[in-house]
Every structure is written in C-alpha cells, then in structure tokens.
Amino acid sequence: MIPFNKPCFTGDEEHIVVEAINNNKLSGDGPFSHKCHKWFEQELSAKKVLLTPSCTAALEMAALLIDIQPEDEVIMPSFTFVSSANAFVLRGAKIVFVDIEPQTMNINASLIEKAITDKTKAIVPVHYGGVGCNMDLIMNLAHKYNLFVIEDAAQGMTSTYKGKPLGTIGHIGAYSFHETKNYTSGGEGGLLIINDDRFIKRSLILREKGTNRTEFMEGKVDKYTWIDIGSSYLPTELQAAYLYAQLKKSQIILQKRLFLWETYHRELKILEKISMIELPLFPKNHEHNAHIFFIKLSSSNIRTEIIEYLKKHNIHTTTHYIPLHSSPAGKKYSHFNGTDTFTTRESLKILRLPMYFQLKEEEVLYITNIIKKYFLENNE
C-alpha cells in the first residue's frame, strides 16, 4: 500500500529528541526552541518568530495581536482549512469570503477591494499548496484601507513570492508543522512570524498565558504576574527538538520533494495534452515547495472513480477542503461576497496524490502509470 502521507522522518530525529529529554527541560522555550527560533530568524530575516503548538495557535495569537473585536470583518478565501476562519470567529469576527483563482486555488486578490467595508479589519491570504497569493496587490489594498494582513502560510515554508519567503510579507505570518506538512515537529506544531515591531512585546505576553514570564526568565523583573489576556501557546521541547532535526536537513527535504513533484508533472503531462486532466499552474516569480501534487479531473464523478481505481491498486489518494461557506458553521459565521464562480466548482475537481519525503521515485512512476492505465481503459 502506498499511503497518501507519511510524516517526514530523516533519521536524525530520534537521537536529538533523546538529547532534549536528557536536558531535563521539556516544557518549552528550552535549548532546542531557541535553536529553532534562531534558525528561522536567520532564514526568514524576520523581526521575531515564536514556535507554537500548532498553526491554529499561531493564527489565534494573530487575531489577539491585531485586537479583533466582535463585528469586525476579516476577508479570506472559502477554500481553506477551518482554522483560517476559526481563529478570528473565536474573537467575534464575521468572515467574508471571496472567490479564488482556478489556476492556483488562491484568493483572487482583484476581488478583495469589493468586499472591503468600514468594518473590515484584516485580510487573510492563504498560500494554497505553498504557492504565493498576489501579495503586491493585497499589501497595496492593506495600505490603502489601513488593514492588517495575516498570511496563512501553513503550507508555505521554503516557498517564496518574488524572492521573499511566504509568511514574511504581511504584518504577521503563520506556518504549520503538522505531520502532513513538509517539515513536522512530531505530529503537530506551528510558527508565528512577526514582521511588525508593534506586535513583538505583546506576543511574548500572550504566548505565556498573559503574563510577563519572559521578562522574568530574562531577569528583567523579580517576579512575574498576569498583565494581559493570553493562553498556553508554547510547544514542548520534544516538539522543538524533532523539528530542529528537520531544519538541519531542510534543503535535502525540499530538493527531494521538488524532484518527486517534477517526476509527477513530467509523467502526467501527456494526459494534460489530451485534455484528460489539468496540472498545477504557477505564476512567474513564485518558487513553490512541492507541498502538494494535485490533478484536476473534469468532474467529481470521475474523481470518485479514480480514487477507487487507485485504491484497488494499493494507492491511497484524497480530495481536499469542502468550501467553508457551504458548511453549517460557515453559514452562521460568514458570508460569501460576490459570486462563487470557481471555489465550489474547482474544489470538486481536485485529487491529491501521495507526496512525502520517504516516497520513492519508482513509487511515483507506478502511481502515474496506474493513472494512465485508468484513462486508457476508460477511453478505448
């Protein structure tokens, strides 16, 4: 059986996690957390980064940092994971969805301005599959209307937009280290990326349950106390150690995934040429991280048939998000601005193929051959 995903494992994680255990500091912000922070700050040229237990936690911190209030509006795509919306709904915001670009599955930045009202507080671009949104236009709109931009770059680590790492362009960014992502901190994990000096000091307080414990640990106060709202947003040292093992091999992981992605693309190109499938299409000046390899089928019925066909050949594939605006909670906490031309239609076409660090070239060739076989058998 070829699974859809295996959590990334390089071989170094075990002994580094044991080292973390032997440090007798497991509760977070220990030696390996600091090593991860230093690595990201250097790689991203970020003002401040903070590990979190999940990307969801990072997005919740972002909502707190920009002081989301009840009835504030936040603009984002409906084709995204629920955390993108939940983080702001928890603070009382109303989510405003706009349509996506069919080529990238990202928010259509040209539709955002029509959705802006006097209640709009922020724009949340979601970089689907590690492919950057049109950040130039989004940042211009943010400047024009005095809005915050929170980049949901959960899938975007090591991807860039015009040379800038995703997550470092807006006011705040967030990465995910869930086990399905290119890099994992042992199953769950995230990163808050702060690109605006205004949020640095308060982020340290929110992350420590609303206390000034960070200043206490640095010897700046003689005792720490509760001074703001907050929550428990620190990951354990075991998570940080697991992640650090992968950061040390980040380029090896990236290059392997890019090789597998290119192999898929090369082998399936023939099916696109005869209009059987659509392959991913990326804008110029974007470098992706091979987070996802998907194909688009002409209908959801064909997609269902191929999923079952591949399963019979021991290949596990999957679909992706059900658009949030069509969900029960989406109908309660959001509305769709404009026309849903592509969001629902394109979501019904996507089929995601296995993609993970341990996947072998021969397995990719087997998968692509089975897909070709399906179309050969059904088009004779």
Domain that holds residue 278: 250-377
* Same domain, yes or no: 195 and 309: no
pLDDT tens across the length of the chain (380 residues):
999 999 999 999 999 999 999 998 999 899 999 999 999 999 999 999 999 999 999 999 999 999 999 999 999 999 999 999 999 999 999 999 999 999 999 999 999 999 999 999 999 999 999 999 999 999 999 999 999 999 999 999 999 999 999 999 999 999 999 999 999 999 999 999 999 999 999 999 999 999 999 899 888 999 999 999 999 999 999 999 999 999 999 999 999 999 999 999 999 999 999 999 999 988 888 899 999 999 999 999 999 999 999 999 999 999 999 999 999 999 999 999 999 999 999 999 999 999 999 999 999 999 999 999 999 998 75
* CATH number of domain containing 160: 3.40.640.10
- Residue 7 is assigned to a structural domain of this protein: no
Say if residues 374 and 309 touch (Cβ distance below 8 Å). Answer: yes
**Total tally of structural domains belonging to the chain:** 2
* Same domain, yes or no: 96 and 188: yes
- Residue 128 is assigned to a structural domain of this protein: yes
* Same domain, yes or no: 77 and 213: yes
Say if residues 97 and 77 touch (Cβ distance below 8 Å). Answer: yes
pLDDT tens digits along 321-365: 999 999 999 999 999 999 999 999 999 999 999 999 999 999 999
| C-alpha triplet 64, 70, 72: angle, nearest 5° | 80
* Same domain, yes or no: 272 and 197: no
* CATH number of domain containing 259: 3.90.1150.10
**3-class SS of residue 325:** helix
- pLDDT given for residue 127 in this prediction: 98
> What SS3 string covers 274-312?
CCCCECCCCCCCEECCCCCCEEECCCHHHHHHHHHHHHH
* Same domain, yes or no: 344 and 241: no
Give burial (CB, 10 Å; 0-12/13-18/19+) of 143: exposed
Domain final residue, candidates 247, 262, 279? 247
* Same domain, yes or no: 228 and 258: no
- pLDDT given for residue 154 in this prediction: 98
Say if residues 321 and 191 touch (Cβ distance below 8 Å). Answer: no
Q: Which DSSP string corresponds to 335-376?
A: EE-S--SSHHHHHTTEEEPP--TT--HHHHHHHHHHHHHHHH
User: Which residue has 């069509």 as its token pair?
Assistant: 326
- Residue 264 is assigned to a structural domain of this protein: yes
* Same domain, yes or no: 243 and 254: no
Global confidence as pTM = 0.96
- pLDDT given for residue 380 in this prediction: 55
- pLDDT given for residue 86 in this prediction: 98
* Residue 151: Cβ within 10 Å count: 30
Query: 261-289 burial string, b = 16+ CB within 10 Å, else e?
Result: bebbbebbeebeeeebbbebeeeeebbbb
Beta bridge mates, 94? 73
- pLDDT given for residue 28 in this prediction: 87
* DSSP conformation class of 1: -
**3-class SS of residue 122:** strand
